[in-house]
Structure 1
Amino acid sequence: MNEALNLLCQPQWRVIDQSAAGMHFNALESFGMDDTLCESVGSGEAPATARTWVHHNTIVLGIQDTRLPFLTEGVQFLEQQGYRVIVRNSGGLAVVLDEGVLNISLIFPEAEKGIDINRGYDAMWLLIQEMFSDFNETIEAKEIVGSYCPGSYDLSINGKKFAGISQRRLRKGVAVQIYLCVNGSGSARAQLIKQFYDLAKKEEETKFIYPQIFPEVMASLSELLSAELTIADVMLRLLQRLKANSSFLFNGQLNPLELELYPGYFQRVVERNEKIGTI
């Protein structure tokens, strides 16, 4: 974990907090934003950046999900439940975003030797462990079979998943992204994704193996820690840990270069979704 700690210890941490903008902020904008930050941080035109974001009632699909044989039926079901459906540009499968889910993106510059992919994951895992160390619960990183968007860096407590991590690498910048189910029902979110796959795949044979979801293996941090956590509570914990791992922590916005780059990256995300037909 020493290498992960070294990665977390940045000379400066810029924080771009968009966690309160959920109702007025499209999730497509978030993925365009992280690509923009990858280029600016990777080129040395901006310091290491932590961006936080919350979106209301959005299902984010992975590229593999767009190949489901009855995708249209599944998307229609989600929209009937009041969710907007988009496709992201990083790896993974379908996840739920709502007002109880905090997303954190850590954007690092790739050093001369580069950042090993596991080192990026370990840095985020270590950060989450530090943020909730006062609860004296072991936070494991391993695949939770039966969860949605399963991966080897699913974060769990007592076998129940509350977070998933992905990475995006672009122009010498690395974005390590996590969704944290802070409050609400983790199993209810999983039940929604289960119904989506039941409708979008049915009994059809597919080359790609989609997850068989068991809602009971997912929960929120509030449920697992028996604590009424809010997004604001978790934001405070995040800021405290970033401050402890930096000599200079500051709130920031996009710089002039990033404002120039952003429209292009956003347009790419929009075009990808238009091509697939989700917007």
Structure 2
Amino acid sequence: MEKAYALLRQEKWRVIDQSSLGPMFEALQSFAMDDTLCTAVGASQSDPTARSWVHHQTVVLGIQDTKLPFLSDALKVLEEEGFHYIVRNSGGLAVVLDEGVLNLSLVFPDSEKGIDINRGYDAMWLLVKDMFKDFNVDIEAKEISESYCPGSYDLSIGDQKFAGISQRRIRNGVAVQVYLCVNGSGSERARLIQRFYEVGLQNETSKFTFPTIKPEVMASLSELLGEELSIQDVMLRFLQSLKGFSGEFYGSTLQGEEYTMYETYYERVVDRNKKVLGV
């Protein structure tokens, strides 16, 4: 774990807070942001960067989700529930984002020519554990197979998942991303994705494996900790933990050439979504 701690102990952390931009801030913009930051940090043009973001009523699909036999019917389920949807540019399966879900990205330079993939996951797990260390709970990292987007670094308390971690690597930059279900109903979010798969499969066999979701295995931190938490509460915990590891951080927006990079990456993710979804 010491190597994971070393990733958190950066000399300086640059912080880009996009957690309160509201419903007009779209998920495709977020993926372009992290690709931009990966490139800038990987080229040593920027300090290691921590970014926070919230997207309203959005389901982020994985490429595999687009292979559902009845995809158009499944997408209608999301539309009828008032959700937008996009396809992410990294692995994984469908996840729910809304105003009660805080997303965090940690962007490091891959200066050692190959940061072990688990080391990045462990760093985010350690950060989340530190954020909630005042609660008498054990935050485990293990697969919750009946959750949506199950993976070996699902974060759970008492076998109920509240977060999932992913990674994105571009040009010597590594972005480790986590979604934290802060408040609201974890099982209601899971029911939406359960219905998405039921309608998308309609009992047909598929060469791809999709999770059989049990909504009760998912919950929000507010439900699990017995204390109503807001996005702002968790943002404060995030910043306090980050400062504890680094000693120095500063707020920022995109700078200089990053704006041009962002425009290029944004065009790419928009075009890619049009192709993948046939829009």
For Structure 1 versus Structure 2, the TM-score category normalised by the shorter chain is over 0.9
Q: Contact 1:85/1:278 (CA < 8 Å) preserved in 2? A: no
Give the alignment's TM-score, normalised by structure 1: 0.99
SS at match of 1:115: coil
Shift of 1:152: 0.2
Give the alignment's TM-score, normalised by structure 2: 0.99
Instruction: Give the distance between the partners of 2:278 and 2:107, measured in 1 at CA.
Output: 27
The aligned counterpart of 1:262 is 262
Residue 146 (str. 1) matches residue 149 (str. 2): no
The aligned counterpart of 2:30 is 30
Instruction: Give the distance between the partners of 1:79 and 1:47, measured in 2 at CA.
Output: 39
SS at match of 1:177: strand
Amino acid at match of 1:156: S
Shift of 1:276: 1.8
The aligned counterpart of 1:115 is 115
The aligned counterpart of 1:186 is 186
Q: Contact 2:56/2:99 (CA < 8 Å) preserved in 1? A: yes
Shift of 1:23: 1.3
Alignment of 1:127-138 (within 5 A): 127-138=127-138
Unaligned stretches of 5+ in structure 1? none
The aligned counterpart of 1:11 is 11
Alignment of 1:1-279 (within 5 A): 1-277=1-277
RMSD: 0.8
Instruction: Give the distance between the partners of 1:68 and 1:201, measured in 2 at CA.
Output: 6
Shift of 1:174: 0.3
Unaligned stretches of 5+ in structure 2? none
Q: Percent identity?
A: 63
Shift of 1:260: 1.3
Instruction: Give the distance between the partners of 1:124 and 1:31, measured in 2 at CA.
Output: 18
Amino acid at match of 1:204: E
Q: Which runs of 4 or more aligned residues in structure 1 lie more than 6 Å from their structure 2 counterparts after TM superposition? A: none
Q: Contact 1:183/1:230 (CA < 8 Å) preserved in 2? A: yes
C-alpha offsets along residues 63-91 of structure 1, whole Å, 9 cap, x if unaligned?
A: 10011110000001100110001100011
